[in-house]
Amino acid sequence: MVAFSKRKRVEIKSNKIEIGPPRLTIYEIARIIGARAAQIANGAPILISLAEFNLTNLKEIDIARRELELRVLPITVQRWLPDGRYQNIPIQWLNLEKGI
C-alpha cells in the first residue's frame, strides 16, 4: 500500500463541484466558524456591520457565524479524494443549510 504523501496530488479544475455534496458539511461549517472566530478574537477586521447585534453580549463566534451566512468570507474549501485528487471550492458555490 502506498502512503498518501507519496501519491501524486492532482487538482481538479472545474467550474462546478466535482467532489462531495453541493453544500457545506457540518464539519466544514464548524471549521470555518471556529477559525474565523479565532481570527476575530486575535484582532482581524470584521467584514460585516455590527448594527444588527446587541453589543452587550457580542461574541466572536456570533460574528463569524453571521459572516458565513452572508457569504462575505474569502474562504475556499479544499476537498480530497483518496487517490490524491482534490478540488478547491469557493464557499460561494456551496449551499448553506438554514439554522447554522
Residue 37 lies in a domain: yes
Query: Residue ranges of the alpha helices (H) in the chain?
Result: 26-41, 60-69
The three cell numbers locating residue 9: 496530488
**Total structural domains in the chain?**
1
Q: Would you say residue 47 has pLDDT above 70?
A: yes
Of 77, 54, 45, 52, residue with least CA distance to 66: 52
Residue 4: pLDDT band with limits 50, 70, 90: low
Name the residue type at position 1.
M
Query: Can you give the pLDDT at residue 100?
Result: 63
Q: Enter the pTM of the model.
A: 0.82
Average pLDDT over residues 62-91: 95
Note down the domain range covering 66. 25-93
H helix and E strand count, the chain: 2, 3
CATH classification at residue 88: 3.90.940.10
Q: 13-17, 24-28, 50-54: which has the minimum mean pLDDT? A: 50-54
